[in-house]
Amino acid sequence: MSEQTRVRFEVVDGIGVITVDNPPVNALGPGVPEGIMAALERGEADSGVKAMVLMGAGRSFIAGADIRQFGKPRPAPARRTYDVLDQAGKPIVAAIHGYALGGGLENALACHYRIAVPSAKVGLPEVNIGIIPGGGGTQRLPRLIGPKAAVEMIVSGRHVSAAEAKTLGIIDEIVAGKDLRAEAIAYARRVADRRPLPRVRDMTHKLAAAASDAGLFETVRKSIARKARNQKAPYHCIAAVEAATREPFEQGIQTERRLFSELENSDEARALRYAFFAEREVTRIPGLSKDLVLPEIKSAAVIGAGTMGGGIAMCCADFGIPVKVLEASPEALAKGMQRIRDNYAISVKRGSLEQAEMEQRLPRIQPVDSYQAIAECDVVIEAVFEEMAVKKEVFAKLDAVIKPGAILLTNSSALDIDAIARATRRAPQVAGAHFFSPANVMKLLEVVVGEQSAIETVAAAMKLGRAIGKISVYAGNCDGFVANRSRAPFNTEMNLMVEEGASPEAIDQVMVDFGYPMGPFAVSDLAGLDISYASRKRRAAADPGYRKLPIPDRLVELGRKGQKTGAGWYRYDPSDRTPHPDPEVQRIIRETALAMGIEQRAFAGDEILRRLLFSSVNEACKILEEGKALRASDIDVMWLHGFGFPRYRGGLMFWADRVGSRAVCDQVEAWYQRYGARWQPSSLLRDVARRGGDLREIKSASIQAI
Ligand code: 3HC
651-696: pLDDT as tens digits: 999 999 999 999 999 999 999 999 999 999 999 999 999 999 999 9
β-strand 51-56 against 15-20: which pairing, if any?
Answer: parallel
Which of ligand 1's atoms lies nearest the C-alpha of 124? 46
- Alpha carbon nearest to ligand 1 atom 28, residue: 25
- How is 673-690 classified by DSSP, letter by letter? HHH-GGGPPPHHHHHHHH
- 33 upstream amide cis, omega within 30 of 0: no
By the 8 A CB rule, do 490 and 612 touch?
Answer: yes
Question: Tell me, what's the pLDDT at 152?
Answer: 97
Which of ligand 1's atoms lies nearest the C-alpha of 65? 50
d(CA 129, ligand 1 centre) in Å? 11
Q: Give, for ligand 1, the residue of 22, 60, 67 to mutate: max count of ligand atoms closer than 8 Å to Cβ.
A: 67
217-272 per-position pLDDT tens digit: 999 999 999 999 999 999 999 999 999 999 999 999 999 999 999 999 999 999 99
Q: How far is CA 120 from CA 55, 60, 99, 161, 503, in A?
A: 12, 8, 6, 6, 51
Distance CA 498, CA 623 (A): 27
Distance CA 6, CA 688 (A): 41
d(CA 102, ligand 1 centre) in Å? 10
d(CA 63, ligand 1 centre) in Å? 6
418-461 per-position pLDDT tens digit: 999 999 999 999 999 999 988 999 999 999 999 999 999 999 99
Question: How many Cβ atoms are within 10 Å of 87's Cβ, its own excluded?
Answer: 12
> pLDDT exceeding 70 applies to what percent of the chain?
98
Indicate the pLDDT class of residue 535, thresholds 50, 70 and 90: confident
d(CA 640, ligand 1 centre) in Å? 19
Rounded to the nearest 10 degrees, the angle between the axes of helix 550-557 and helix 529-542 is: 120
197-218 per-position pLDDT tens digit: 999 999 999 987 766 677 999 9
Structural domains for the chain? 3-265 (3.90.226.10), 300-479 (3.40.50.720), 503-509+516-602 (1.10.1040.50)
Residue 671 DSSP symbol = H
Which of ligand 1's atoms lies nearest the C-alpha of 66? 1
d(CA 155, ligand 1 centre) in Å? 19
By the 8 A CB rule, do 436 and 311 touch?
Answer: no
Q: Is the CB of 65 under 6 A from ligand 1?
A: yes
Q: Is the CB of 626 under 6 A from ligand 1?
A: no
d(CA 68, ligand 1 centre) in Å? 10
- Among 126, 268, 327, 505, the one annotated catalytic: 126
For residue 523, give the nearest of 485, 552, 551, 562 by alpha carbon.
562
Which of ligand 1's atoms lies nearest the C-alpha of 104? 50
281 catalytic, yes or no? no
669 catalytic, yes or no? no
Across the chain, mean pLDDT equals 95
Which of ligand 1's atoms lies nearest the C-alpha of 284? 19
Question: Tell me, what's the pLDDT at 44?
Answer: 97
Question: Tell me, what's the pLDDT at 140?
Answer: 98
d(CA 701, ligand 1 centre) in Å? 28
Side chain identity at 574, as an amino acid letter?
P
Question: How many Cβ atoms are within 10 Å of 670's Cβ, its own excluded?
Answer: 11
Q: Is residue 513 scored above 50 in pLDDT?
A: yes
Q: Is the CB of 106 under 6 A from ligand 1?
A: yes
Mean pLDDT (whole number) for 328-349: 96
Rounded to the nearest 10 degrees, the angle between the axes of helix 661-675 and helix 652-659 is: 90
Q: Is the CB of 103 under 6 A from ligand 1?
A: yes
Q: Give, for ligand 1, the residue of 20, 25, 61, 273 to mutate: max count of ligand atoms closer than 8 Å to Cβ.
A: 25
- Alpha carbon nearest to ligand 1 atom 42, residue: 63
3-state secondary structure at position 295: coil
d(CA 303, ligand 1 centre) in Å? 37
Q: Is residue 706 scored above 50 in pLDDT?
A: no
Element (H, E) at 242: helix 233-246
- Alpha carbon nearest to ligand 1 atom 12, residue: 280
- Among 3, 10, 44, 106, the one annotated catalytic: 106
By the 8 A CB rule, do 40 and 29 touch?
Answer: no
Q: Is residue 283 scored above 70 in pLDDT?
A: yes
Q: Is the CB of 134 under 6 A from ligand 1?
A: yes
Paired strand residues for 28 = 65
Query: What's this model's pTM, rounded to 2 decimal places?
Result: 0.95
Indicate the pLDDT class of residue 74, thresholds 50, 70 and 90: confident
Distance CA 433, CA 657 (A): 30
Q: Is residue 2 scored above 60 in pLDDT?
A: no
